[in-house]
Amino acid sequence: MEPGTVLPIHRHRHTAETYIVLRGSIKVNFYDDNKNIIEQNLVTPSQGVYGVHIPAGQWHTFEVMESGTVIFEVKDGPYSPLGEGDILG
């Protein structure tokens, strides 16, 4: 992924999610229901921070910080598309 890649603020109600950064770095933000940032995480193996766990139901997004970033994403169970009400507009 390249800088400028940003996911919309979203949640997964029925599964936790984990991002492991294999190369590069991402900034992962957690939000409350009012779009306020409640936690920021810079995930970058070059500084010893390899991943972040996102609990089920937690509003979050990520932004790619370095060119050539590669992540491994893990969720519980099979793929499930975002449902109505799972993107914070």
The tokens 């029925």 sit on which residue? Answer: 14
Q: What is the dihedral of CA 63, 31, 48, 2, to 10 degrees?
A: -10
Tell me the pTM: 0.92
Q: How many CA atoms lie within 13 A of 5 on its CB side?
A: 17
Q: pLDDT tens across 34-76, in order? A: 999 999 999 999 999 999 999 999 999 999 999 999 999 999 9
Task: Find out whether 62 and 27 touch, Cβ atoms under 8 Å.
Answer: yes
